[in-house]
Structure formats: structure tokens, C-alpha cells
Structure 1
Amino acid sequence: MATARQEVRPWPALWALVVGFFMILVDSTIVSVATPAILNDFGTDVGNVIWVTSAYLLAYAVPLLVTGRLGDRIGPKKMYLTGLTVFTLASLWCGLTSSIAMLIVARVVQGLGASMVTPQTMAVITRIFPPDQRGKAMSLWGATAGVAVLVGPILGGVLVDGLGWQWIFFVNVPVGVIGFVLAMRLVPDLPTHEHKFDLLGVALSTIGLFLLVFGIQEGQKYDWGQITGPISVWSLIIAGLVLLGAFAFWQSRNRNEPLLPLALFRDRNFSLANLSITTVGFAVTAMAFPLMLYAQAVRGLSPTKAALLLAPMAIISGALAPFVGRLVDTTPPRFIAGFGLACEVGALYWLSQIISPDLPIWQLLLPMALMGVANGFMWAPLGSTATRNLPMHQAGAGAGVYNTTRQVGAVLGSAGIAVLMESRLAHYLPAMGGGAPGGEGSAAGGKLPEALHQGFSDAMADSLMLPAAVLLIGLVAALLFATPVRRQPAAAAASGDREGLRG
């Protein structure tokens, strides 16, 4: 057993995996800072450009339940390498596109690649680290997630200013190649488990989620009325909800192997962690759009300077990761995650109250710093709490569920913030018709006329209240976590050796 332990080397394997995981999460938010540039280049509107993010998030979220199972069946390493290859090639395609429609299609393929990669990172942690060490491992995973979604806009700003928006995608190519080589050399081949696939569940969840997101995001564009013929915005939303309800019912009745193993939700902490991470995915994705548009359209900041507003978040979150990792293994998770979520709610509310045309930039950095504290404390305890009690043969399925709920939150956050921004712009600036920089009735791709600054600032400030409100649900869920039963290190390690380090 000692020999197997030396061969596997969990920490190098984890570091290799987080390279690809980091790149994929960066792409969830990197487009937000490039929104004005893409608006200007393609001459489109804010709704279409937000589809560049929503299409990626939707294609990322929907297959996660399947790709987690595929990782269990054919091996997480093979699945990870396949997904990384698809993602890297699709990134090249994104940078080479010449129309907004083709960019959206390329982002769908990119999202499919991302969906193959993400569950494998979490499943490998669950299988190669014993439970008493997973807190430290999950802190690295959580710090990667927290920092990546914040680094995305910063990196995007630098690339857009220096090389053009296409380079937010081209930069993935060398990173993808490096990640592939590292994973090939350092990630172990783990035992596989046979799984059947619920094709009806795949169809119901895919179509239902697409209809729901499309209806929400396009609602303002069609004034919440008819899209074409008998098809209305509300009919799409209702049909999506009905199909998702049918999906849940089918999962409860499927006696073979359901796509969504509802038995996992019998664990209280798994259920609550999934609810909480959904709200985190919603908020982190949603907050970047109004902030970046305000910074560039009202304050006239370049993409790089606008993105640097998020620097305090990334720096503080990364610095706190080792400290929080030690806490996760010794402190009840409700205290750690609850503190982080409370800080995030407070920071978003604070930001919504101070945004104005003439606000000194340094005052914006204060709530950003508080968001850094929040992100440092949110990600690791939520991930480790969700996975602590997962049975080894369902590590991939559990990781798929957890990452699905996070990504569904991100998809709904992208769609929801688009609706609210357009609605508030129509309220404060009716002459813009709910547009944004680059859209009809505005200064294309640049700073707005001064007469529009106050109304635009008020619209973006109001929009930030949505992610703050949604996060309150996640905060309540985290405060209801049960204190996990501590297992003896020796017994835990033996358990990890038997399953994760075998062979």
C-alpha cells in the first residue's frame, strides 16, 4: 500500500488538474470586460453579446451530470484530457470567428469541453485524498475557482487593450497544451465503475434548461410578449419549468440509474452545499457585467483599468486560501462559509449604494476588498462540505451534481442580470431603449455622453441588488450546515487508499 501511495502523489496530480480547471473558469467571466469591444466590433446589442457568455455557461452546465458519470465509467484522466483538447481547439475557433453568431456557436463547443473537465477535478480530489485531508485539497480547488472568476476580467482587460478581444480566447491555446502535458504525466489512472446512461433524463434537462434560460434572457428584448406566431416569452419559460419538473419526477421514478442520483441529497450537507453554491455561481457571474459596463461607459476606464477594479478581490482571495484550508479541516463549515457569504452580500449591497458618476475610484476598491475576503472564505468550505460524505463509486456523479448546480446558477445569473440591466436602462434612460454602449442609441463602444451618466449609473447600481438578494438564500443554507462527523486520520487514510490509490 505504501508503494501505491508513492506512485500516485496526490498533490502533484491536483496541481496538474487545476491548470485546466483555472483556464475553464477564467472563460466564464473573461468576456464581461470585453463586452464593449465585442459590441463595437460586431455592431450588435448587449443582449446578443451576453449570449456569448450564456451560451458557454449553458453548454457547460447541462452535460455535467453526464460527464461526471462518464468520468466514473471510462476514467477521470481520459475524460479530463478529452475535454481539455475540445476546449483548447474551440478556443482557437472563438478567436478566429468573424460574426457574433459564429462566436456563440464556438462558445457552445468550448462549453462542452469545459463540462468534460470540471467534474473530473473534484472527483479525483474525492478519490485520492482521504477525508481528513480533503479540506486542504479542496481549499486549493476552491481558491482556484474563486481566483479564476476574478482574474478573468483582469486578464481580459489587459488582452483587449493590448492585443484585441480575440486574444482572450487565443491565450487558452498554450495554456491548454501545458495543462494536457502535465495531466498526462501526473494524474493517475483510477479504477472505473460501470454506469448506465439516462437518455430521457438528458433530453428533459437539456431542453428544459435551454427554454428557461432563453425565455428569461430574451424577455426584455421582446417586451415579454410574442416572439413569433404562437410562441411567446412566457410560453418558453413555462415549458422550460414543466420539462425540468418532468425531469425531477423521472429521476425519482427511474429504478435503473438516474442521471441525477437523488439519494445523494439525503445527506443534509450535500443538499445545502448545492443550494449555496448555486447562489454563488449566480452572484459571481452576474455582478461583473454591470460593474464593467459602468466602469467603461460612465467612468471612461480602459478595459485594463476597469478590470483592475477587481484586483483586490483576486489578491485577497488567493492570500487567504492557505489559512482557510487549515480552518476547513478543524472548524464547522457553517461558520466559515457563512462568514464568507455574509461578506459577499454586504459588499454587493455596499457597492450598489455608492456607484455614481463622480465616485472616487478608491472608494470602489473598498467593497472589492471585502469581496476578496468573501471569496476566500466561500469556495473551499462549500466544496469540502459537499464531497465529504460521498461514496467513492459515486464521486464522479456527486462532483457532476455539485458543478452542475454551480453552473446552472451562473447561467441564470447571466440571463437574470441581462434582463435587469436592460429593464433598468429602459427605466432611467428610455431614449436608449434598454441598450448599452455599442448598442442602438448609445456611444458605440465608448464613453457615454455626460448627460446619460447618472441614469446609466443608477441602472447598474440597481442591477447589483439582484445578486446580493440571491446570495441571501445561500447564506441561510450555509448557516444550516450540520457539523460533519470527524473520522480518525488513520481510518480515513486507509479508506482513501483502498479506493482512490488502488493499483
Structure 2
Amino acid sequence: MEKFRTNKWSILSAVLIGTVMGPIDGSVTNIAMPQLAKIFNTDITTISWVAMTYLLMLSSLMLTFGRLGDMIGYKKLYQYGLITFSATSAILSMSNNIYMLIIVRAFQAIGAGMLMSMAPAIITATFPATERGKALGFNAMPVSIGLAIGPTLGGFLLTYLGWRSIFYINIPIGIIGFIWAQAVVPDNKGVPEKFDPAGALSAFLFLAGLLLFISKGGTWGWTSSASIISIAIFVTFFIIFIIIENKLEFPMLDLSLFKIRTFTFGNISTLINFMAQFTMTFLTPFLLQQMGFSTDMAGIIMTSFPLIMFVSAPLSGILSDKYGAQILSTIGALISAVALFSMSTLNLHSSMFSIMWRLGLFGIGNGLFQAPNNSSVMGSVSKNRLGIASAFLATMRNAGMVLGIAAGSAIFTNRKIFYETLSISKTNAFMFGLRDAYIVASIFSIISALTSLVRNNINIKNIIERDEK
């Protein structure tokens, strides 16, 4: 067993087990939403809170978990995440009303947050700088697998085993992951620093306020009382957070990290990249529906993106260990921009292949961007700040997801309404609105390429020397 503890690939395999749980659970649960709405006799607005509560809790607590990981040890918090995610999955399967489902999903997000914030930290602490990109590239593979098989698996479980089974599948994965992590992941003591509860609370409130405003503002009305209260909570507690963090000896988020050019611009690039990605993934199913594809066929078409990324992400990680992140991530973002612009040229008569190669090209670009970018961000900080760096990177990803869905929805809806005022058919207005949204997503990717280009290109030798100190 001691041999396994020193084997970095065994440690990576333990992390991959936890990494695959979130994507599978998310994609399976999303496909089950219509059926859950019928089972619990509720409307689409209420059932949407099953996903929204999960996302809000996950994103708002990520920084707290990152800081706790640096303090108590990455392995310990990672295992807490596996236990929490598995236990709440069991409780979710016993839900007898929609409110229980929503509340327990919030607690499940706590487990997911621990897993997501600790996985890159464990990998970065385990692998040398010369193999970090490769390892983080492999870590992207289970995400692609989860996103690819989730819809099909969810459909099978719902059809043959019932809705409760979509939560059962997490339990054996979590148990296996906990046992394997206990066996192979080494303990790390963490840093003997005080926890910052005021900073954690203010961070949770400002992130929750911001994400709630972005995701629900369009539904509530951007100037409604609920939207104004949400944005007021964001502004107030963001200011309080900055004041607190500047005063404390041991802040929850070390603001000096933002003086590191690679860390700052790598995170900005992540945020904008995920805005582009989720604008595309949110809108494309509507395009496929408009083109007449069945739900099953649309699911097959959409897997083109994660399946290609499954291959491109580890390859780009290997290349980044040799050539660095700056050029690779920039090229990846530009390829994504080209793919998104090409999506804007589709029409109702486009073939399935013409859609799939565009999604595949986007998968190449995204895979080329993410692993090198993540490696450069994680490699830019000292080892005692890997937890918070990993958590902040995950927070930028989740914020990008929410912003991308909100931006894509708003652009498509507003442009569609505009084109309808020009007295053209609703079908053409739909396609023109979609075209404009894809073009804006392409612009997001171009901006991501620019922010990626201006980062410092990390010198691998300097990182090795720093880590050995």
C-alpha cells in the first residue's frame, strides 16, 4: 500500500473518481427535470430551483473550501466531499416533495464544492511542474465522459429504473472513491493559520447576490425589487469583503495573488472562455429542436463537443509541459472563436454532419485552451496557496457558466424580438437571433484569446526551483 501512496498516477486515479461525479450527476439530473416536474406536480419555475440552488451554493462556497483545504489538508477535505456528496445523494433518492429535493440539493452542492476545489490542488501538489499540464489534462477527461454519457445514462435510468435511481448511481462511486483516496492519497498537514469566518460569510453573500442577479434578473425584471436587492447584496458585501481581506493577517483570499500576472489573466481567460462555451451549449439544443431533430438524436449530436475534448485536453496538457500555456491557450481560444462563428452560418437545412464538425472543432479549441490554462494558473502560486488558487479558478468557471447562459439567453431573446418587428417570419427571426448570439460568443472567445496572450509565459525551470525551496 505504501507503494501506491508514492505513485502519482494512483493518486491521480483517486482524484478522477471524484471529478467524474459532478458532471454525471449534473447532466443526469438536468435530463430528469421535466419528469421530476410531473412527479412532484410543480411548474418549470419551481423545478428550476433544483439546479439553481445547487449552482448558487456550489459557486458561493468554493473560496471557503479552498481556504479550508490549505489549512486542514487537501486529502481530508476531498474525502469529506465524497462522503457529503454520496450521503446527500442517498437522501435525495428518498425525497417526497419538491422542497425537500431543492434543500438537499443545496447540501449536495457542498460536497461537490469540496471535490471541485480540492482536485486540482491535489494534482498540482503531486505532480512536478514538467508533468503538471499532462495530469490536469487527464483530469479533464472524466468531465468530458460525464457530460457525454450523462444524458444517455439519465434517459436509461428514468425509463427502466425510475427517477430515484439517478441519485443511487452516485453512492457506489463515492464509496469507491473514498476508499481508494484513503489508500493512495498522502496526507498533507496544511498551514497553521486562522480561519477567516467574516471573510467567508461576506464572500458567500456577495457571490450569491451576484449569481442570483445574473441568473434570475431576466425572469424577475432587471429593475424589479428582487433584482435590486440582489445587486445591493453583491455590492455591499463585496466592499465589506475587500475591507476585511486587506486588514487581516490570514485572509480567506490572499489578495496579493492578483499581483501575479499569470494568475490574474489566467482566471479572467477562464471566466470569458466559459461564457462562450455555455452560450453555445445552452442555445444549440434549441437550434437542433428547431431543425427537427429528436431529443435522442440531439443528444448524440451534442456529444461531439465533449468527446473531441476528451482527446484534445490531455494532448494539450502534454504539449503545455513542453511549450507553456501562453501560445497553446491563445490558439485554443481562437479555434473556439472560429467554431462559434461557423455555428452562426448554420441554417434549417444544414446536415447533421455540418453541425457535428463545428461542435467537434469547438471541442478541439476548448481542450487546447483549458489544460494549459489551468496548469499555468495552478503553477503560478506557492504550494501553501494551491487550495485557494484551485477554488478561485473553479469559481471563475462557474461564474462563466452562469454569465454565458444569461448572456446567450438575453442576446437571443432580444435580437429575436427585434427581428420580429421587421415583419419577417418567426422562424427567420429565431435563426437570426441565434446567429447574433453565436457571433457574440465568438467575440467572447476572441477576448479570451487576448487575455490569454498577455499573461506571463511561465518558465518551467523557475517553477521547479521555487517548488524545491
- Normalised by the shorter chain, which TM-score bucket? 0.7 to 0.9
What secondary structure, in the 3-state scheme, does the structure 1 residue paired with 2:116 have?
A: helix
Whole-Å separation in 2 of the counterparts to 1:460 and 1:368: 15
- 1:11 matched residue in structure 2: 9
* Counterpart check, 1:390 vs 2:388: no
User: Could you say if the C-alpha distance between residues 129 and 220 of structure 1 is closer, same or farther in structure 2, counting changes exceeding 3 Å?
Assistant: closer
2:241 to 247, 252, 256: 247
Give the distance between the partners of 1:132 and 1:5, measured in 2 at CA. Answer: 22
2:403 equivalent in structure 1: 412
1:462 offset after TM fit, Å?
A: 4.7
Q: Which residue of 1 aligns with 2:358?
A: 367
CA-based RMSD of the aligned residues comes to 3.2
1:67 aligns with 2:69: no
Contact 2:120 2:390 in 1 (8 A): yes
* 1:309–1:48 distance in 2 versus 1, CA, 3 Å: farther
Deviations 1:414-461 (A, max 9, x none): 44445556656766789xxxxxxxxxxxxxxxxxxxx97665555555
- The offset of 1:42, in angstroms, is 5.3
Deviation at 1:320, TM superposition (A): 2.5
- Counterpart of 2:220 in 1: which secondary structure? coil
Aligned partner of 1:347 in structure 2 is: 339
Q: 1:29 to 1:262 in 2, by over 3 A?
A: farther
Give 3-state SS (helix, strand or coil) of 1:131's partner. Answer: coil
* 2:10/2:184 contact within 8 Å kept: yes
- Measure, in 2, the Cα distance between the counterparts of 1:295 and 1:35: 19
- CA 147–275 in structure 1, closer or farther in 2 if over 3 Å, else same: farther
Distance 2:362 2:157 in 1: 24
Q: Deviations over 1:39-64 (max 9, x none)?
A: 55556555544443332222111111
Provide closer, same or farther for how the CA distance between residues 47 and 389 of structure 1 changes in structure 2, counting only shifts above 3 A: same
Counterparts of 1:105 and 1:285, CA distance in 2: 25
1:274–1:405: 8 Å Cα contact kept in structure 2? yes
Deviation at 1:261, TM superposition (A): 0.8
Structure 2 residue 227 is the aligned partner of structure 1 residue 233: yes
Bigger shift: 175-184 or 421-430?
A: 421-430
Q: Secondary structure at the match of 2:303?
A: helix
**C-alpha distance 23-454 of structure 1, shift in aligned 2 (>3 A):** farther
Which one has a larger percent helix, Structure 1 or Structure 2? 2
Q: Helix, strand or coil: the match of 1:260? A: coil
Question: How big is the shift at 1:316?
Answer: 1.8
Aligned residue type for 1:288: T
1:200 corresponds to: 198
User: Is the counterpart of residue 479 in structure 1 residue 431 in structure 2?
Assistant: no
Matched, 1:306 2:298: yes
The 5-angstrom pairing of residues 450-461 of structure 1 reads 460-461=434-435
Aligned positions, number: 466
Q: Which amino acid aligns with 2:199?
A: G
Counterparts in 2 of 1:403 and 1:182: CA distance versus 1, 3 Å: same
Find the partner of 2:75 among 74, 77, 85.
77
SS of 1:220's partner is helix
Partner of 1:399: 390
Q: Alpha-carbon deviation of 1:157?
A: 4.8
Q: Distance in 2 between matches of 1:340 and 1:163?
A: 41
- Mapped to 1, the partners of 2:50 and 2:318 lie a distance apart of 38
* 8 Å Cα contact 2:4/2:10 also seen in 1: no
Structure 1 residue 379: deviation in Å? 1.7
Residue number in structure 2 paired with 1:447: none
2:182 matched residue in structure 1: 184
Per-residue deviation, 1:13: 0.7
**Is the CA contact 1:56–1:111 (under 8 Å) kept in the aligned structure 2?**
yes
Change (3 A) 1:221 1:376: closer
Matching residue's letter, 2:136: M
Distance in 1, matches of 2:334 and 2:162, equals: 37
TM-score by length of 1: 0.82
Q: Is the 1:217–1:419 contact (alpha carbons within 8 Å) kept by the matching residues of 2?
A: no
